[in-house]
Amino acid sequence: MMGECTIACQSMAGPKGAGIVSWLTRKFPTFVWCALWVFVLPLGAASGGQTVLEPVQVPAVSSRLAAAAPIIAVATAGTRIVGVGVRGHIVYSDNQGLEWTQAQVPVSVDLVSVQFPTPQVGWATGHDGVVLKSIDAGSTWQLVLEGRRAAQLMLDYYAAQPADDPRMQAALAESRRFVKEQGARPFLDVWFSDANEGFIVGAWGLVLHTTDAGATWTPWLHLVDNPGAGHLYAIRSIGSEFWIAGDQGLLLKLDSASGRFISTQPPEGGSLFGVIGTPDFVLAYGLLGRAIVSRDGGKTWDQSSGLGSSSVTGGAVLVDGRVVLVDGGAGLWVSDDNGRNFSAWHIGAARPYTGVVDAGGKTLVLAGLGGVRALSSVTP
């Protein structure tokens, strides 16, 4: 079994594989991913002549240890904190992370992103093209989209577009590959600017857009300057602008005039796993301690200083304006000058972290391989 795991991980070493490994650095450190690969893949396989249901068809198993299992991303739903993680586990807390309750989830795939545009309505995405929606602040979830249906709707859309448009034909070819893979691609991030309009992005350049709260989805592959179909790891709206971070330093901004995501041409460097900010600045972070910040809407960028060498895997702007980043090497970093300079935040009991959120009341909630953790003081 371990040999099969090694082969699976080694198979990601091609041009696309470099991006997948970069993504795994954020979503799961590589050694953990291999372990998960071993245990998750057999769920969809045949055993003893019997067909076993796939993870997208099996509800998450209830566990009293759900909050201690790997939780990959966290978000606020009003005053509630919601975290998503492996095997479809979603947990929530109404007392700033002191106690956690497991949500009812209809799938058991690994979930890697979560966001609430309103205190009641939330979205989560993950492997196998899964998109989930909650209308009760994360207590229960429903399956809105899965990979096979996403692949087919993309194929149907692009097959109906003009045959003489190179961008449409490139998107059509990518859609056919997605269908051939039976929808087995992850959606890596979700972001809604309000209750109705939002985007989901993912591996091999996946982008879907909705304006009706997820009732229908429109593919946007042809509206993104991503000629190599690189993986798209994160999408955020900062102020009135949408940003996408991705493979090999890809950093895109939605241009209102053209209706396209266009490159902002940041300094050369490794993959970017996330983007955060305020109307005053935008900060993107990623591989090997890389963080860059712009104060003019992406026209110019400066390298942040003071971070370590581990890949930055999550970040947040606190209520008091400070910027906090976490990394896969158990680092926690804070900046009080809008991301220009960072200093280490020593909190003890360090473990690899993948997400962070301001829980209010001078409390942070950290997500990572050891589950969720509440940090009761936000003073370094």
Q: Delineate the domains of the chain, giving CATH numbers in brackets.
A: 1-52 (no CATH), 56-375 (2.130.10.10)
51 pLDDT above the threshold of 80? no
41 pLDDT above the threshold of 80? no
Place of tokens 């904190």: 81
Contact 43, 88 (CB under 8 A): no
**312-333 residue pLDDT tens:** 999 999 999 999 999 999 899 9
Contact 66, 102 (CB under 8 A): yes
* Mean predicted confidence (pLDDT) in 170-179: 96
User: Tell me, what's the pLDDT at 134?
Assistant: 98
Q: How many whole angstroms separate alpha carbon 346 and alpha carbon 142?
A: 39
Backbone angles phi and psi of 42, in degrees to 5: -65, -15
User: Tell me, what's the pLDDT at 44?
Assistant: 40
* Mean predicted confidence (pLDDT) in 91-110: 97
- Confidence category of residue 7, pLDDT binned at 50, 70, 90: very low
> What is the layout of strands, in order, in the sheet containing 343-344?
312-317, 323-327, 332-335, 343-344
- Confidence category of residue 213, pLDDT binned at 50, 70, 90: very high
**224-281 residue pLDDT tens:** 999 889 999 999 999 889 999 999 999 999 999 999 999 998 888 899 999 999 999 9
Helix-helix angle 2-10:30-40, to 10 degrees: 120
Contact 335, 323 (CB under 8 A): yes
- Confidence category of residue 18, pLDDT binned at 50, 70, 90: very low
Distances (CA, A) of 109 to 44, 68, 131, 153, 319: 11, 17, 11, 21, 33
